[in-house]
């Protein structure tokens, strides 16, 4: 019994931790498959041993997790969660339970949008209050941010007072654009659209929410009988007539087999939609039956959520290798036997950190289940323990850096291990690559591969050595793919970078926590690198988007003698970054361009910079939200898709004319 008690305690604690990460941090560390597996195990144990049920069990509440920086809102009508089903047999059991109570009923079937549940209150047709679900009883006041959601009506077509509940979500193309921008700024990427939507919706600055281009689907009306509604299907039609965005893919079916037919149809069809959906919500259509069918403490008995199974394949974990980032973060990576997942060959997957590996008990030689997170990023889900070699060795995080051998460190409240050696070859190499990258100093001709070559040969040992390459022109000629013309162009690019914008230089230094946006804000207050080097923590924290952690990181960076020596070296070599005013050219503001093919005179990077300098955006994929496709010779599938969608296609000449008009 002690083992059972300890297992229940463990499950309660770990699931509450996962709930906190999911609901509050918008940064889950465990996938849905594992979470659901642990929750079902806890439910089974509690049912078998009711005397061992703990007061803080997550099975008896929606989730007691609220942010303290947002005003609390009490829901007059609780926002309940739903029970889950993972098989057609479970759906049929759900149907049988209802038929024991009532016999004459139908179902509505709606796609389960992977977003943030919300409540919108209207008074006399005007949106007056927006709230999150929170713990189902108490939510968070997010009215200002709800007003920024483009597909949520601010004024209804009728002067009605009502509460409408729905899902706030981020479209796939918006999510991809957001992560593309974050990647350019060398910022942490959102794991999936739901996390991005959650983080955007809880911003204290509604302007940030507006920039994130969130969307909304309405799915229920509180007290629908007050408006003459008797069924869920009619309610959805009514909401649409009022101006709400209602997901068009719902269906009214007569029985559970109709539900299953719908699931079969959307199992693959859902992948073509511009939003994430991980399942389907099934509700009894007739409202007058709800009280008869009843409720549990946590969920209604007249509705259930079916979860689509993720595509999971099994392959062998051949090795775990470690990479060092420019800030010293040590990232473990799985080397896999190549396997097709979601249409692509996967041979490698990130393992995030030590906690990720140990929580799954991953060992080299294991057969592991792999899927694509959000159907994009390969991730290891779990081990097939039945196939484990009895001699498999438990994972042990290395104590020293795999590149320089320095002792690794781990902060108490962080999951990552760090190499703190500023002279670490891995850190130095990644730092040089970052400094020269397009998003930083933008040194054309000095890409990842070239830097790796020059670093290995000893021509570049730190970022300052970039500006000494002019002394090695003869030596460079002996290196493969370094011709006279290429070397000449490279030297010109290096020389031009000396007068680069100060914010690009700051960003290029790779100060921990300092992204491209923060660098721009720093340039507004400090007009030279010398001024910034003298900045105090208390002064830095007064600047927009500069918190105490970032401020401390900046101060610590400039207190390091080696960093000071590096900056002095750069200054002595003529690097003199300038304060440059932001462009006032907004000719392309609101427009999104996709580039494809080879342009006659402009490189992709040059064209992209011209678009961005004019206030526009670039994207790697064509969608209905694309404004223009800039096409050159040998344009491929992007051009074809643009024609299919009726997107305007322009050539370089037209593009230049548009820019100069």
What positions carry a catalytic annotation? 112
Q: What are the contacts of 461-464 at 24+ separation with CB within 8 A?
A: 461/428, 462/428, 462/431, 462/432, 462/566, 462/569, 463/431, 463/432, 463/435, 463/436, 463/508, 463/509, 463/566, 463/570, 464/566, 464/569, 464/570, 464/573
Count of positions (residues) in the chain? 661
Output the 3-class SS for 318-343: EEEEEEECCCCEEEEEEEEEEEEECC
84-85 vs 313-324, strand pairing mode: unpaired
d(CA 365, CA 369): 13
| Residue labelled with tokens 């799985």 | 334
d(CA 64, CA 378): 31
How many Cβ atoms sit within 10 Å of the Cβ of residue 363? 18
Nearest Cα to 214, choosing from 171, 182, 172, 256?
171
Dihedral sign from CA coordinates of 480, 485, 488, 490: negative
Helix axes 561-572, 548-559, angle to 10 degrees: 70
Beta-bridge partner residues of 409:
418
CA distances from 597 to 442, 637, 640, 644 (A): 22, 10, 12, 18
Spatial neighbors of 611 by CB under 8 A, at least 6 apart, are: 588, 591, 593, 617, 618
d(CA 573, CA 372): 47
One-character DSSP codes across 399-431: SB-TTT-PBEE--TT-S-EEE--TT-HHHHHHH
Confirm if 409 and 330 have CB atoms less than 8 A apart.
no
Edge-to-edge order in the sheet of strand 628-631: 617-619, 592-596, 628-631, 648-650
d(CA 529, CA 535): 10
d(CA 652, CA 597): 11
Could you tell me the two tokens for 166? 């729905």
């Amino acid at each position: 019994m002690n083992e059972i008690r300890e297992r229940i305690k463990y499950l309660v604690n770990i699931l509450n931790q996962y709930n906190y990460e999911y609901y509050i941090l918008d940064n889950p560390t465990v996938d849905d498959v594992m979470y659901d597996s642990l929750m079902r195990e806890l439910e089974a144990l509690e049912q078998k041993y009711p005397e061992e049920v703990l007061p803080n069990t997550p099975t008896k509440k929606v989730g007691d997790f609220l942010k303290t920086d947002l005003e609390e809102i009490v829901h007059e009508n609780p926002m309940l969660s739903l029970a889950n089903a993972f098989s057609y047999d479970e759906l049929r059991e759900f149907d049988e339970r209802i038929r024991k109570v009532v016999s004459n009923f139908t179902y509505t079937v709606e796609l389960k949008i992977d977003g943030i549940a919300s409540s919108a209150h209207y008074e006399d047709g005007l949106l007056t209050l927006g709230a999150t679900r929170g713990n189902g009883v108490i939510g968070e006041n997010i009215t200002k941010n709800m007003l920024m959601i483009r597909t949520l009506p601010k004024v209804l077509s009728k002067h009605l007072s009502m509460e409408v509940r729905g899902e706030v979500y981020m479209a796939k193309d918006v999510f991809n654009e957001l992560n593309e921008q974050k990647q350019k700024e060398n910022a942490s990427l959102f794991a999936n659209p739901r996390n991005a939507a959650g983080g955007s919706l809880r911003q204290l600055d509604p302007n940030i929410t507006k920039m994130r281009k969130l969307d909304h689907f309405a799915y229920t009306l509180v007290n629908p009988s007050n408006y003459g509604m008797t069924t869920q299907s009619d309610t959805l039609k009514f909401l649409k007539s009022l101006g709400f965005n209602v997901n068009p893919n719902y269906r009214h079916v007569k029985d559970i087999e109709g539900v299953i037919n719908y699931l079969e149809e959307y199992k693959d069809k859902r992948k073509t939609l511009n939003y994430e959906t991980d399942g389907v919500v099934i509700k009894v259509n007739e409202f007058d039956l709800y009280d008869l069918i009843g409720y549990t403490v946590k969920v209604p008995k007249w509705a259930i959520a079916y979860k689509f199974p993720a595509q999971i394949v099994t392959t062998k974990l051949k090795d775990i290798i470690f990479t060092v980032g420019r800030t010293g973060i040590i990232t473990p990576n799985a080397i896999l036997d190549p396997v097709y997942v979601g249409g692509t060959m996967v041979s490698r997957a990130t393992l995030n950190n030590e906690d990720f590996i140990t929580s799954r008990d991953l060992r080299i030689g294991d057969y592991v289940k792999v899927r694509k997170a959000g159907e994009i990023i390969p991730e290891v889900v779990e081990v097939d323990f039945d196939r484990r070699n009895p001699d498999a060795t438990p994972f042990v995080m290395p104590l020293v850096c795999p590149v320089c051998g320095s002792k690794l460190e781990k902060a108490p409240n962080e999951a990552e291990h760090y190499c703190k050696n500023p002279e670490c070859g891995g850190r130095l190499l990644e730092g040089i690559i970052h400094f020269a990258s397009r998003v930083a100093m933008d040194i054309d001709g000095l890409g990842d591969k070239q830097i790796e070559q020059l670093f290995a040969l000893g021509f570049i040992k730190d970022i300052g050595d970039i500006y000494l390459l002019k002394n090695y022109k003869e030596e460079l000629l002996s290196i493969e793919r370094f011709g006279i013309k290429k070397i000449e162009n490279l030297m010109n690019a290096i020389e031009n970078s000396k007068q680069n914008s100060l914010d690009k230089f700051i960003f290029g230094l790779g100060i921990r926590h300092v992204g491209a946006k923060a660098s721009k804000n720093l340039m507004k207050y400090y007009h030279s690198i010398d001024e910034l080097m003298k900045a105090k923590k208390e002064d830095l924290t007064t600047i927009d988007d500069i918190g105490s952690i970032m401020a401390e990181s900046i101060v610590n960076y400039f207190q390091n003698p080696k960093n000071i020596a590096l900056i002095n070296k750069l200054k002595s070599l003529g690097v003199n970054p300038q304060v440059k005013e932001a462009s006032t050219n907004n000719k392309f503001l609101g427009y999104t361009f996709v580039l494809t093919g080879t342009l006659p005179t402009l490189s992709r990077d040059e064209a992209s910079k011209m678009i961005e300098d004019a206030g526009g955006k670039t994207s790697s994929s064509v969608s209905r939200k694309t404004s223009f496709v800039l096409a050159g010779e040998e344009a491929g599938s992007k051009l074809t898709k643009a024609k299919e969608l009726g997107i305007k296609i322009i050539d370089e000449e037209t593009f230049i004319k548009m820019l100069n008009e």
